[in-house]
Amino acid sequence: MNGLRLVFDNAFIRELPGDLADAAGVRQVHGAAWSRVAPTPVRAPRLVAWSREVAAVLGLKAADVGSSRFAEVFAGNALLPGMQPWAANYGGHQFGHWAGQLGDGRAMSLGEAVGADGGRHELQLKGAGPTPYSRTADGRAVLRSSVREFLCSEAMHHLGVPTTRALSLLRTGEDVVRDMFYDGRAAPEPGAVVCRVAPSFLRFGSFELPASRGEVDLLRQLAEFCIHRDFPALLGGRADAPLATLRGEDAFDEALLAAWFREVCTRTAVMVDHWMRVGFVHGVMNTDNMSILGLTIDYGPYGWIDDFDPDWTPNTTDAQDRRYRFGWQPKIAHWNLVRLAHALSPLFDGVEALQDGLDAYVAALDAARRGAVAAKLGLVAGDRDDVASMEALEVLMHDAGIDMTRWFRALSDVDPQAPSLAPLQGAFYDEDQRVAAAPALEAWLADHAARVVADGWEPAARREAMRCANPRYVLRNYLAQQAIDRAHAGDDAGIVELLEVMRRPYDDQPGRESFAALRPDWARDRAGCSMLSCSS
């Protein structure tokens, strides 16, 4: 029990101004980046699942994680020495409209742990009770949303997508009342707490809020702090100097700020292109859900493309306008970066440097797209003609109702010397659509085969490269829902099994073929298996 130890260096609350009020209750917090909070204890914390990779990075052993002390700490019932819990203050644009102050309403950071890898890892509990930013909510989370967040954080990492991570998922032994469908039928559900892990949880909205209030000093402090802690490479040989020293030397000039914004833009481009590569739809790309580090953050109503549809969104709240549809994600990321640029503009003398960063986003996205197209199609290098070929294929996939993941995984089995649809039969949802689309798809395959032959890539090496670019397994919503249903019935083993499958998404895993199957018909319209609400 006494073996659970972590070392903390809580720079966020040390270097940035905090909320001077210590009264309980929801309030507007001005001139501060954070507020002190305390997790609300739960009745009976019990560990459900954990990431051994994240634990190892933190320096935790299996015995540490399996201890009763671990369950107490990471459910919010106890603190380790050095933990100083806080909730961050930020705003954001939600569905295209400014929402004002938002903040960590059901998340709170325990501290910044210095891991066994020497890196900084902010540990954040989601579902540990109310904060000054909880608005009308209780700060709790239900098991179903917690399972989805825990699994997706780790699944995305193993897919190679920039993401926040998850250390643990715990049941609380208490029920949480939620109106899942917003139809007035609230009901109790099992409660849970997830421990999220990231180098930083700063968001675009962290900078938007002080800018919206004219708090330019706080805005500048946030930007300088973020560069110093999270982008030290931009400081070169001065990265180890104390933040106060660098401020005294006026190190954070406009050129450095411009380089920082440009880096944020390019990281965002890389992240979004990875989403498009694996068929992931975030579902709620509000600016408060956009990481300043270019990490996928805040897993709510997300989903994976089954039958290819660029207009699909998993978010029931967005069903009418489909602002955050799959095909619009690159466009929305740019829109969000424009909002960030506007927030940062008081720190710049003109708009040229900010526009340069936005242009860098476009260039980085174009380069990433060409690379992803080449990898998915098995080409030595991608050019604009190959991107056009991919776009033509995507139109055919939509018209034919083709499963994105299964199609690209099977594409490597097509013989470019004698291209045929035979290896791809398992990617179709509807036989009539397959028959109707076959001539056009065969013509595309013939053109693509000629392109592959011209490359002259050794076949075995090409197939292996395609295997590493096109996952066999993704966290389809119906798979997560099946694990949730089992957990609601008292069996948590489905969560652990699904985590194990998603740890090796690019490998064929004998005996686990069912996890790579087409979405079954019963899951097309069932709640939790396709679209989801923003409700926790």
Q: How many CB atoms lie within 10 A of CB 301?
A: 23
Element (H, E) at 161: none
Report the distance separating Cα 159 and Cα 376, nearest Å. Answer: 14
Cα–Cα nearest to 279, from 306, 313, 315: 306
Report the distance separating Cα 275 and Cα 213, nearest Å. Answer: 33
- Let me know: does 86 contact 36? Beta carbons within 8 Å: yes
- Let me know: does 468 contact 506? Beta carbons within 8 Å: yes
What's the distance, CA 32 to chain centroid?
A: 26
383's CB contacts (< 8 A; 6+ apart) are 370
Cα–Cα nearest to 135, from 100, 183, 109: 100
Q: How many CB atoms lie within 10 A of CB 109?
A: 24
Q: Out of 104, 230, 288, 298, which one is annotated catalytic?
A: 288
Question: Residue 165 forms beta bridges with which residues?
Answer: 197
Is position 288 annotated as part of the catalytic site? Answer: yes
- Let me know: does 198 contact 124? Beta carbons within 8 Å: yes
Longest dimension (CA), the chain: 73
Residues designated catalytic: 288
